[in-house]
Amino acid sequence: MFPVKTARRLPALITLLMLFSSRAALAQRQRAILEVFVNQVSYGNSLVVLRDADVFVPVVTLTDAGLHGIHGERETIGAREFVSLTTLAPAVAFRMDERELRLDITASAELLGERIHTLAPGTPADLVFKANTSGFLNYAVNYATNGHANLFAESAFSLRGALLYNTVSTTGGSPTRGLTAVTIDQRASMRRWTFGDSLGYSGPLGGDSWIAGVTVAKEFAINPYFVKHPTLSLSTPISVPSVMEVQINGQVVSREQVAPGRLQVNNLPMTLGRNDAQVIVRDAFGVERQLSSTFYLSTSALAKGVQDYQYSFGFQRLGVGEYSWSYRAPAALARHRVGLSNAVTAGGRFEVEPGHLFSGGPSLNLRLPVGEIEAATSASRIEDEWGSASLVGFSYSGRPISAGGSVMAASKRYATLTPNPEGEDPSVAVNVFASASLGGPVSLTTQHVSTRMHQGLTRSLTSVLSTVHLARNVELTASVSQVRDEHGSRRELYAGMSVLFGRVATSVANVRDERGNRMSLDAHRSLPVGEGYGYQVHAESGGDGTGVAQYQTQYGRYELRQDTLNGANTTTFSAAGSIVGIGGGIYASRPVDDSFALVKVPGVAGVRAFASHQEIGRTNRNGDLLIPDLQAYYGNILNVADADIPLQYAVPDVARTLALPYRGGAVALFDVQKIQHVTGRLSIADGGEHRVPSYGDLTVVVNDREVTSPVGNTGAFYFETLKPGTYPALVHETDGHDCVFTVTVPASDAPIVNLGTLRCEAHVS
């Protein structure tokens, strides 16, 4: 029994419950499928729930549109989570167009996250690193009419990331070993290990030495797309789809569409020195926003967190190229620099020969808005004598003026592993320069270099150089220099004109120096990338001169040189080439400069091959062509001319972008497939009778892949391409019956192979 008081209220309670239930039901029924726009960008249709002046939108719809940090009122409807748009204000505003069935949402740029655009050339999307077991033997032979002859050989063998390298030379006598080393590159860390002979260098105020031992170094060339220097980044919020235009020093370097969000533009491409950058954002309504900044690009400072180093430990090697086995005491050289920030790079160096020499000290590089500063100091001890040296330099590169200079001072007993020539110990060395563009095509450069020795000798050079660009390919150059050294003081003059005709460069000049006053004529034509010729000519008044004729083929490089000096003539003949092993074959080639690739178009001769869109040569009768002058680790674009591939062949792809190992090679396979149509007719044996499986299907299995042909009303079938071989096959009839048998395709050079009538003897219901 209900209490009397409760009983009196019951009708009202029932009415209230009914009201709430109907409103809830109504709310559930007010659903709609609307096209959702976020900051004017459509993200497709979505189910939404309408409640009075509010709209509930699936959370996943907003996150798919790029919104982050959404904290509004949420509700689970069905199996999905919805969020109230009114509770997201003021960061989110919305408007519903019932006629267009459209929901427009305007979100603040902070909710849309970052839209990152990196402008520095990055790793190509289709880049593939490939390394095959390979090796080469470069050789060069030189013979002169004065009786001088020499032979040089360079060999390398690449296996599973390791490179074995060796050089040998001879000059009329017994062979002399040059450099021998095993090199291992670690691509992920850009680190190179060298076991054997390596040149160690410890940096400013330091020396260098050939070390037979172990060297580990940061090698940025392993990833040529890595940005190691500080670069400029700019950021701005964008509320609607816009067009971004990037200008560097007044030149447009990028123009592209950008989506709403916080726009982050990284690694703006810049030239060395001072740069004026501007990012212009124009939205659909013509509203324009500009971001401007000045940035000084330095190549001596490292980006924050980037390290550059080299450590060499072993024995000093002397007389490389003169003696095969000449070693001194153990030694070590090291240098290491770290980018503490994008403006400060700190480092240090040392050199040690135990019991005899120590030399080392810190270094500092500063990147300023108006230039860069380099400073280093060092102390040394050789035997029981101490020495010291310091270096400070400043440089500024800009428009229209660039300037800089450096000063190095060293005590008399300062020493490194590299000994100074006898009687030449620098006390103070000064280098100052300045250049300016005087407007239009005229530029002026001045330089002063002076070195004072502890022995009292002073050498200096002061010069002024002016260049005038008369036309795109015509240039005038004039210079005057004042030289002071142990031979006295003298003035040197130069005036000349240079003209460029395609690959041919010519110049005529009047020169006055320690050899007197004379006229000179020069002409130069560089060798092409592939086969072709080149030459160099240098002639002087008085009869002296040099002439060089060069010819390059797929198999070698040849040179004939004529030198005339003081009436004496010398003729030299040179031949250079390489023997390369890769992909199971041996190939004769021009000398391998860095890395190489074997282009394979199996069985197709005479196909032109290109490297970086420059024609290199044509494939041989086996469809092979060796390209010997590619860049290690860089994205080498290799392609073949599909017009040279006969019509009976198909090639899926005619381009490859390959990164190759250091002094190693890879096979670039362009797998052509011979187009050979296969036809025939089908007949099925059924109870002693033969019938045609009209309008059925014939399926054959090729390398675990099903290939199907429809069967015509006469039992005819057709396959675009089936290579010679025997394949399992199945005939499926329209009435549901199947018949299993085998299909054999014979080898044939004909474009169409007719198999005749094939009978399927086995019948399976």
Looking at the structure, do residues 84 and 138 belong to the same domain, yes or no?
no
- Quick check: is 203 in a domain? no
Looking at the structure, do residues 134 and 248 belong to the same domain, yes or no?
no
- Give just the sign of the alpha carbon dihedral 594, 599, 605, 606: negative
Where b means 16+ CB within 10 Å and e means fewer, 24-33 reads: eeebeeeeee
Looking at the structure, do residues 566 and 660 belong to the same domain, yes or no?
yes
Measured CA to CA, the distance from residue 250 to residue 127 in angstroms comes to 32
Dihedrals phi, psi of 18, to nearest 5 degrees: -65, -40
Q: Give me the half-sphere count of Cα atoms (radius 13 Å) on the Cβ side of residue 619.
A: 26
Q: How far from chain centre, in Å, is Cα 466?
A: 36
> CATH code at 104?
3.10.20.410
> CATH code at 745?
2.60.40.10
pLDDT band at 235; cut points 50, 70, 90: confident
Provide mean pLDDT across the span 265-273: 87
Least confident of 149-158, 185-194, 237-246: 237-246
Where b means 16+ CB within 10 Å and e means fewer, 613-636 reads: eeebbbbeeebbbbbbbbbbbbbb
Looking at the structure, do residues 539 and 618 belong to the same domain, yes or no?
yes
Looking at the structure, do residues 92 and 125 belong to the same domain, yes or no?
no
pTM to 2 decimal places: 0.80
What are the structure tokens assigned to 157, written together? Answer: 């063998």
> CATH code at 646?
2.60.40.2610
In the predicted structure, residue 387 carries a pLDDT above the cut 90: yes
- Quick check: is 181 in a domain? no
- Report pLDDT digits (tens) over 660-680: 999 999 999 998 887 888 999
Q: For position 289, what pLDDT does the model report?
A: 84
Collapsing DSSP to helix, strand or coil, 447 comes out as: strand
Q: Among 271, 297, 323, identify where a domain stops.
A: 297
Q: Among 87, 112, 137, identify where a domain stops.
A: 112
Domain that holds residue 235: 231-297
Q: For position 585, what pLDDT does the model report?
A: 94
Which amino acid appears at position 732 of this protein? H
Q: For position 16, what pLDDT does the model report?
A: 35
Measured CA to CA, the distance from residue 294 to residue 398 in angstroms comes to 11
- Report pLDDT digits (tens) over 133-147: 999 999 999 999 988
- Quick check: is 428 in a domain? no
Q: For position 437, what pLDDT does the model report?
A: 87
Looking at the structure, do residues 14 and 64 belong to the same domain, yes or no?
yes
Chain mean pLDDT for the chain: 89
Pick from 241, 290, 289, 281: which is nearest to 261 by CA? 241
- Report pLDDT digits (tens) over 463-472: 999 999 988 8
Looking at the structure, do residues 598 and 573 belong to the same domain, yes or no?
yes
- Report pLDDT digits (tens) over 22-34: 444 444 458 888 9
Percent of the chain with pLDDT over 70: 96
Looking at the structure, do residues 530 and 668 belong to the same domain, yes or no?
yes
Check if the beta carbon of residue 217 is closer than 8 Å to that of residue 361: no
> Could you check whether the bond before residue 90 is cis, i.e. omega within 30 degrees of 0?
yes
Q: Among 86, 112, 138, identify where a domain stops.
A: 112
- Quick check: is 98 in a domain? yes
- Report pLDDT digits (tens) over 90-137: 888 999 888 888 999 888 887 887 778 888 777 888 899 999 999 999
Residue showing tokens 């709209």: 55
Q: Which residue has the higher pLDDT, 316 or 685?
A: 316
Check if the beta carbon of residue 88 is closer than 8 Å to that of residue 72: yes
Pick from 746, 707, 747: which is nearest to 729 by CA? 707
Q: For position 763, what pLDDT does the model report?
A: 54
Provide mean pLDDT across the span 705-714: 92
In the predicted structure, residue 250 carries a pLDDT above the cut 90: no
- Quick check: is 34 in a domain? yes
In the predicted structure, residue 716 carries a pLDDT above the cut 70: yes
* Total structural domains within the chain: 4
> Could you check whether the bond before residue 441 is cis, i.e. omega within 30 degrees of 0?
no
In the predicted structure, residue 291 carries a pLDDT above the cut 70: yes
Q: Which residue has the higher pLDDT, 526 or 422?
A: 526
- Quick check: is 542 in a domain? yes
- Quick check: is 219 in a domain? no
Which amino acid appears at position 584 of this protein? G
- The residues facing 528 across adjacent strands are none
Rounded to 5°, angle at Cα 406 from 400 and 408: 175
Which amino acid appears at position 182 of this protein? V
Looking at the structure, do residues 108 and 35 belong to the same domain, yes or no?
yes
Looking at the structure, do residues 147 and 92 belong to the same domain, yes or no?
no
- Quick check: is 17 in a domain? yes
Measured CA to CA, the distance from residue 548 to residue 534 in angstroms comes to 8
Looking at the structure, do residues 560 and 574 belong to the same domain, yes or no?
yes
- Report pLDDT digits (tens) over 530-561: 889 999 999 998 888 999 999 999 999 999 99
Looking at the structure, do residues 16 and 83 belong to the same domain, yes or no?
yes
Q: For position 745, what pLDDT does the model report?
A: 93
**Burial label, 340 (beta-carbon count in 10 A; 0-12, 13-18, 19+):** middle
Check if the beta carbon of residue 587 is closer than 8 Å to that of residue 579: yes
Measured CA to CA, the distance from residue 584 to residue 401 in angstroms comes to 57
Check if the beta carbon of residue 601 is closer than 8 Å to that of residue 623: yes
Q: Which residue has the higher pLDDT, 76 or 19?
A: 76
Provide mean pLDDT across the span 12-40: 58
